[in-house]
Amino acid sequence: MNGANPWDLVVHDERFYDRLVRNGSLGLGESYMDGWWDCDALDEMIARLVRSDVEREVGSILRFLPAFLKAVFVNLQSASRAFQVGRVHYDIGNDLYQMMLDKRMVYSCGYWKDASVLDDAQEAKLDLTCRKLYMEPGSRLLDIGCGWGSLVAFAAERYGVSCVGMTISEKQKILADEQCRGLPIEIRLQDYRRLNEPFDRIASLGMFEHVGYKNYRTYMQVVERCLADDGLFLLHTIGSSSAPRHMNEPWLERYIFPNSYIPSLSQIMQATEGRFVLEDLHNFGQYYDPTLMAWYHNVARHQKEIEEKYGQRFYRMWTYYLQSCAGLFRSRKMQLWQMVFSKKGRRGGYTSVR
């Protein structure tokens, strides 16, 4: 701390140390929001902390025991709670996300294999998704967790399909309706559990993190009953490369994504057993680092506007979220998986798309 490296913390308030010891990662984030410390390369600082397993060395389960027990014994992602993350996170304001995201407003990891700017990386991801689903003109696509309609609009424009997009955010639906006007697309404000109609293709980009491990079998049952026998399902989700935990990171849980949960590969596969054949598994978690940093730089360019509307503490909170998550993915402790499933194995086999 207070060193010469760009990833060293510069402490402005000596109370920071006690707060960090008492509250761990929650205290680290909250004290940053309060301006008690700064760091020129916060993203790299987090990456180094995560690689060092500092939480394992100094953390205490007793500090987070109440939240841990709540996650174990309560279904935090039940139908009655389904719209909470929409209100807390996605309904903050469409203007914030318009300043932060690419021109299509894709709020999930970009595909930077042949891209150097955010717009190209996100278009490449949308096209990759459509090609993995073997999208065909006249097909019917369901996007579970459609956000502002980026995938359904792209698929309708480029691949000639009709689409249904689902979101749990009222403000997302308003803007998605505007952006999809004139296309064969229906945007619904709806929880996935209410679905019971046929689709040729189903996709979910960055929504599974809100499902919760208690609901994975239910989620897969819904996909199974709605997917055509010869259809394909693509699941795009953040994943944990270590043993799954029963609770989200405390700071992210309180300020960014309430009731979220990052799955392990074993949990996903257990939920699909007896229902689907895994046709393809693609890990491009290394691309979430440049995606998050591109979002951060977009937000930083609009600092004055964001602080005027949302306040300085919110701006510090939001930039801490983006930079700390970038560092987390840079450490490679977190992954991003795209998985393609069929019901009974695709006739003639499945050729992986990269």
Task: Walk along the chain (354 residues) and give the pLDDT tens digit of each residue.
Answer: 667 899 999 999 999 999 999 998 899 999 999 999 999 999 999 999 888 876 554 444 334 434 433 343 344 444 544 556 566 788 899 999 999 999 999 999 999 999 999 999 999 999 999 999 999 999 999 999 999 999 999 999 999 999 999 999 999 999 999 999 999 999 999 999 999 999 999 999 999 999 988 899 999 999 999 999 999 999 999 998 876 655 577 899 899 988 888 999 999 999 999 999 999 999 999 999 999 999 999 999 999 999 999 999 999 999 999 999 999 999 998 999 999 999 999 999 999 999
Cα separation, 96 vs 19, in Å, equals 30
Query: What are the structural domain ranges in the chain?
Result: 73-342
What is the model's pLDDT at position 345? 94
What architecture does CATH give domain 73-342? Answer: 3-Layer(aba) Sandwich (3.40)
Query: What secondary structure, in 3-state letters, does the chain show?
Result: CCCCCCCCCEECCCHHHHHHHHHHHHHHHHHHHCCCEECCCHHHHHHHHHHCCHHHHHCCHHHHHHHHHHHHHCCCCCHHHCCHHHHHHHCCCHHHHHHHCCCCCCCCCCCCCCCCCHHHHHHHHHHHHHHHCCCCCCCEEEEECCCCCHHHHHHHHHHCCEEEEEECCHHHHHHHHHHCCCCCEEEEECCHHHCCCCEEEEEEECCHHHCCHHHHHHHHHHHHHHEEEEEEEEEEEEEECCCCCCCCCHHHHHHCCCCCCCCEHHHHHHHHCCCCEEEEEEECHHHHHHHHHHHHHHHHHCHHHHHHHHCHHHHHHHHHHHHHHHHHHHCCCEEEEEEEEECCCCCCCCCCCC
What residues contact residue 273 under an 8 Å CB cut-off, 6+ apart?
none
Q: Which residues pair with 202 in a beta bridge?
A: 142, 233
349: alpha, beta or left? (left if phi > 0; alpha if psi -120 to 50): left
Q: Which of 39, 163, 226, 325 is catalytic?
A: 325
Determine whether 325 is an active site residue: yes
